[in-house]
Chain A
């Protein structure tokens, strides 16, 4: 396992289209996070999964956003009816649960979304 993998790396879409991103976490990590990062800012939390359960969603996650993690493995983040304000880097991270020896969070390379 070489780390957290995200696909695609880049996505350009027209306003109003739907897009879906995929994240493959480190295999033994049961915690998975999605973040969004805009230029010059730090990443902002979007949502969190423990195994297949989505346990927290940020207010940033409008009803146009939906995330899933079927079977507690990979996760998808879908944005419907994209808007120009959705343009950002979408980052996925995974970690072991608290209490484990190493709870370090590992991030993927991100998906850069540009809405034109």
Chain B
């Protein structure tokens, strides 16, 4: 059974810092991994999708890496801004049963202080 863990659970940093959010998963037979952002009381906004054959993806100040063999992904946020404050969720889609449903971690709550 796939389990996804995110560390740290919460993070508070001053504006301008570079930071790394971690995600680990127990079953390396994944189809893809996706990082999402969630603002309080809102839905999920997709940030980056990494296919299982890829090692990393970049979008603006965000860079996500994937190491399938070790069951790890990291989300790197450069030059953090107060507007980055949100919960960041990691989700992996497995290939079992053909559903490709996502299994989520519990998220990292990020607060960037001005």
Q: Which A residues have a C-beta under 8 Å from some C-beta of B?
A: 4, 6, 31, 33, 35, 40-45, 48, 55-56, 91, 93, 95, 98, 102-110, 112
Contact B99 A55 (CB under 8 A): yes
Nearest 4 pairs of A and B residues by beta carbon: A42-B104, A107-B44, A109-B43, A104-B49
* Shortest Cβ distance from A44 into B: residue: B104
Shortest CB distance B58–A (Å): 15
Query: Could you name 28 residue pairs across A and B whose Cβ atoms are closer than 8 Å?
Result: A31-B100, A33-B101, A35-B102, A40-B106, A42-B4, A42-B89, A42-B91, A42-B106, A42-B107, A43-B91, A43-B104, A44-B104, A45-B103, A55-B98, A56-B97, A56-B99, A93-B44, A93-B102, A95-B100, A103-B31, A103-B32, A105-B93, A106-B46, A107-B36, A107-B43, A107-B44, A109-B43, A110-B42
Size of interface on B: residues with Cβ below 8 Å to A: 27
Q: Which residues of the partner chain B approach A112 to less than 8 Å between Cβ atoms?
A: 41
Known: A41-B106, A42-B107, A98-B31. A109 touches B42 (CB 8 A): yes
Interface presence of B81 (CB below 8 A): no
Proximity bits, B1-37, A CB within 8 Å = 1, else 0: 0001000000000000000000000000001101010
